Structure 1
Amino acid sequence: MTRDGWTAADVPRLDGQTVVVTGANSGLGYQATRAFVHRGAHVVMACRDMERGEDARRELTSSRPSGALELQKLDLADLGSVRTFAETFADIHDRLDILCNNAGVMAIPRSETADGFETQFGVNHLGHFALTGLLFDQFTGDGARVVTQSSSMHEAGEIDFDDLQSEESYDKWEAYAESKLANLLFAYELQRRLDDEGIEHVRSIGCHPGYAATNLQYRGPEAKGSTVRKAAMAVANATLAQSAEWGALPMLYAATEDVPGGSYVGPGGLMNMRGYPEVQESSERSDDEVTAGRLWRVSEELTGVEYDFEALADAPGE
């Protein structure tokens, strides 16, 4: 299940496969995109900031990959943007092989998405829930994967259905942990529903990067205008974190290796913060099927997106 010393060099050839990576212009998404496109995949870079996305696409293209890069706008904080992205994808492509639900925000002051959701819950969970559902009928090829990026912080998370949008009380780290727990509850519930419908050609897998140095850690301090916290984060990243390239390995492993659906992949080194990817155990709360089922129903109501499992079951992998 886990190979010692697995790196991006072990990603198999992906010629003819189409991959979507959210947040592909920086950090973990950029490194995953690099690995996918250099193994022959057609990668759709789903980015909120098109200027930064184009800079990243140009830089990756200059490295002469064997695959192709396509840039499309996706703002997970706006369900209208999510729908437009899915419609555009379906107009251009006839199938999707790998979806990496990677983009996210972390520990920011409370704000709301275009649809009135608390931003961390709205972007990290609801945006990806909607995106996956709207792309669901594109998973027609054999061995399709939905890989959802969580965090070790999910262990501190708890789903508060009485205050899901943190309107009564807001703590930036509690909200982040809740959104990352929601990511895993979603990933596992999706696999259970695939199993219940006998859909074997699609797998849903959760992952986490450990402690990886990316721009994500700076967004909270920048949003609050805290130069002291930003400097402290820079020191922590330099002394404790592994690189974004290493942080992307669990996502790559989950997307391309023979990992069972419903698995959780993370770095196997010091305190699961760094090292080579391996299949791990997540928290007891992440395995709560009652909470997962309720969260799924609430997510359908909030986003207006329902998954057509019956149709996908009638379109088996090729």
Structure 2
Amino acid sequence: MAGSVLITGANGTLALPAVDHLLKHYPEYTAILTVRDASDDPNTRKLREIILRYPEAKASIQQLDLSNISTVHDFSSTLSADIAAKRTPPLKTIVCNACYWNLVGDPELTDDGYDKTFQVNHISHVALVLRLLDRFTPDGGRIVMFSSEAHEPGRAVLEKIPPSIPDDLDELVKPVAHEDKRGAGFHRYGSSKLATTAWTHALNRYLEKDESLNKITAVAYNPGGLVDSRMFQKNVSSSLYMLMRYAVQPLLPLLKYQNPQMRLGADSGVDAIELALDRVHPGERGYFELLEKAESSPESRDESKQEKLWIKSAEWARISKDNTALRGAFE
């Protein structure tokens, strides 16, 4: 059976070509495309234009604000009920693409009281995934959590403060202000990707132990450094925007020889769909850089930190054995 493909941040730089690839090459799937603003947002208009290219496409755009945990739970409940009632096909994959950063301001707290970068990138995706595990197709599927080279200290050019999982995990959701706003902002971003990568390893362990869910695989996917990312247009300094737009992007063909991680969103979007639909590395779990199986950072592989993060992430995401099919992980 085909099933549904759920993509968060579906109007983003990587997601737009990913949706185009999905609808063009895999029309048998139902696309559930979530965006923060489903109204007349210009990026959402681009998403609608892509859908219109494929009249036979089974696609819907749905609003989902990942900066609000209650909204994530409400969305999950509605989608779960629709799948149970057979109004929507069961899930084949969840692609957790939505992302946020702020490299020019102090930490922003959501109404839930969490750092916005960490909530959008990690906590809300934890809630979404764990609420919907029992709504996958009978033959399983794949969960794609987005990692980044920024999760590993010393790799990202913008890194000034290495990403980390602190002993006091509450520092992740309530970081203090720092005079170096760009350095601190990128630190929050990198740490959110580190947390997601570590959490994905823990998720796989629990999925493998559950006989009813072990056909679902999870991958932490590093799509590469997207030089055309829309993230460089907002919440960044004008100098960083100018550098990316007028120096890095034009020189990309040369820069890729030095660093293959540098690429365009269109390339990573195609790869993300192929990985999500199990067309590459079928049945495999773990960390991937582009489409190659790789080893994530040493800290992300620390099982004691993974377990502490697993427990705390569930608490932040309001997940318990009562609202997830992965009950064995919470007993």
TM range (shorter): 0.7 to 0.9
Which residue of 2 is the match for residue 112 of structure 1?
109
Counterpart among 104, 128, 131 of residue 131 in structure 1: 128
| Aligned 8 A contact 2:20 2:51 in 1 | no
* Residue 80 (str. 1) matches residue 92 (str. 2): no
**SS of residue in 2 equivalent to 1:308:** coil
Cα distance change of structure 1 residues 209 and 113 upon mapping to structure 2, 3 Å threshold: same
Cα distance in 1 for partners of 2:177, 2:284 equals 35
TM-score, with length taken from structure 2: 0.80
For the pair 1:217 / 2:238, whether they are aligned, the reply is no
Matched, 1:21 2:44: no
Deviations 1:51-83 (A, max 9, x none): 336413421123226531111111111012111
Matches within 5 A, 1:31-42: 31-38=17-24, 39-40=26-27, 41-42=29-30
Q: 2:23, 2:54 within 8 Å by CA — same for their partners in 1? A: no
Cross-structure match for 1:297: 311
1:169 Cα shift? Answer: 4.8
Q: The residue matched to 1:130 in structure 2 has which SS?
A: helix
Shift of 1:286: 1.5
Which shows bigger deviation, 303-312 or 120-129? 303-312
1:1-318 mapped onto 2 (5 Å cutoff):
16-38=2-24, 39-40=26-27, 41-51=29-39, 52=41, 54-64=44-54, 66-94=56-84, 95-108=90-103, 109=105, 110-156=107-153, 157-162=163-168, 163-170=171-178, 171-198=184-211, 199-212=213-226, 213-221=228-236, 226-234=237-245, 235-240=247-252, 241-256=262-277, 257=279, 258-267=281-290, 277-306=291-320, 307-310=324-327
Shift of 1:231: 1.1
Cα displacement (A) at 1:153 = 0.6
Which deviates more from structure 2 when the two are superposed, residues 192-201 or residues 60-69? 60-69
SS in 2 for 1:164: helix
Distance of aligned partners of 1:93 and 1:166 in 2 relative to their CA distance in 1, 3 Å threshold: same
The alpha-carbon deviation at position 161 of structure 1 amounts to: 4.0
Q: Secondary structure at the match of 1:49?
A: coil
1:155, distance to aligned residue in structure 2 (A) = 0.3
Q: Structure 1 residues 215, 54: CA separation in 2 closer, same or farther (over 3 Å shift)? A: closer
Q: Deviation per CA, 1:239-268: give whole Å up to 9, x if none.
A: 23422111224422321224344322223x
The structural deviation recorded for 1:229 is 2.5
Aligned residues: 285
Q: Which amino acid aligns with 2:127?
A: A
Matched to 1:68, the amino acid is K
Q: CA deviation at 1:36?
A: 1.7
TM-score (norm 1): 0.83
Aligned residues: percent identity? 26
Q: Which stretch shows the higher mean deviation, 74-83 or 244-253?
A: 244-253
Q: Cα deviations across residues 219-248 of structure 1 (Å, max 9, x unaligned)?
A: 221xxxx32222122132342342211122
The RMSD of aligned alpha carbons is 2.2
- For the residue of structure 1 that corresponds to 2:53, the secondary structure is coil
Q: Where does residue 10 of structure 1 map in the other structure? A: none
Question: What letter corresponds to residue 111 of structure 2 in structure 1?
Answer: A
Contact 1:209–1:249 under 8 Å retained in 2:
no
Q: Distance in 2 between matches of 1:311 and 1:151?
A: 29
1:125–1:180 CA contact under 8 A, matched in 2: yes
CA contact (8 A) 1:57 1:69 kept: no
8 Å contact kept, 2:286–2:293: yes
1:49 and 1:238 map into 2 onto residues whose CA distance is: 31
Is the CA contact (8 Å cut-off) linking 1:154 and 1:180 kept in structure 2?
A: yes
The aligned amino acid for 1:254 is L
Contact 1:37 1:65 in 2 (8 A): no
Given that 2:12 and 2:98 are in contact with CA atoms closer than 8 Å, whether structure 1 keeps it comes out as: no
Instruction: Give 4+ residue runs of structure 1 displaced > 6 Å after superposition.
Output: none
